[in-house]
Amino acid sequence: MTRTGRCACGAVAWETDADPIWSGHCHCESCRRASSAAVTSFFGVPRTSVTWIGDPATRESSPGVTRGYCAKCGTQMFYQNVIWPEETHLFAATLDDVSLFVPEAHYHYAERVPWLHVQDDLPKHPASADDPA
Ligand SMILES: [Zn+2]
Ligand SMILES: [Zn+2]
């Protein structure tokens, strides 16, 4: 299935035919600040599967982490980490059809904000997916 997404102004868009490797909500402080949102919803796909229309600008948000964004409107577009060199993480909120996102877990739940109360039944990992829920 083809998934497509774009930034707020439309200057940057992406497309992938790959199924997500994983998908979930990230509560870490780095994502929170980068996206100005309490929770960042992501899914990972093979990096080679993503076609970009327009050129996302990039910055290193922490050592080994590259975040891509639209230089025109500022929308966050992707996350890449040297520890997962084969993956690009795309933001569910940039999907053209947001119903194509099916979250499987919460990550970095220990860093969550105190004023959002999550009541779903998904696993809630204190840190990354490697930690027990
Ligand atoms: Zn834009
Ligand atoms: Zn995060």
Cα-to-centroid distance, 79 and ligand 2 (Å)? 9
CA 62 to CA 17: how far, in whole Å?
29
pLDDT, tens only, 50-66 = 999 999 999 998 899 99
Please list, in sequence order, all residues whose beta carbon lies within 8 angstroms of the beta carbon of residue 93, skipping any fewer than 6 positions away: 41
pLDDT of residue 131: 61
Q: Which of 133 and 26 is assigned the larger pLDDT?
A: 26
The string over 27-63, giving b where at least 16 C-beta atoms fall within 10 Å of a residue's C-beta and e elsewhere, is bbebbbebbeeebbbbbbbebebbeeebebeeeebee
pLDDT recorded at residue 42: 95
Question: For position 109, what pLDDT does the model report?
Answer: 96
Burial of residue 90 (CB within 10 Å: 0-12, 13-18, 19+) is: buried
The rounded Å distance from CA 78 to ligand 1 centre is: 13
Q: What is the pLDDT of residue 132?
A: 56
Q: Kindly identify the ligand whose nearest atom is closest to the C-alpha of 12.
A: 1
Mean pLDDT of 29-40: 94
For residue 7, how far is its CA from the centre of ligand 1 (angstroms)?
Answer: 5
Domains of the chain (ranges; CATH) run: 3-111 (2.170.150.70)
Residue-wise pLDDT tens digits, 75-110: 999 999 999 999 999 999 999 999 999 999 999 999
Q: Which of 14, 25, 73 lies closest to 48, judged by CA?
A: 14
pTM for the model stands at 0.92
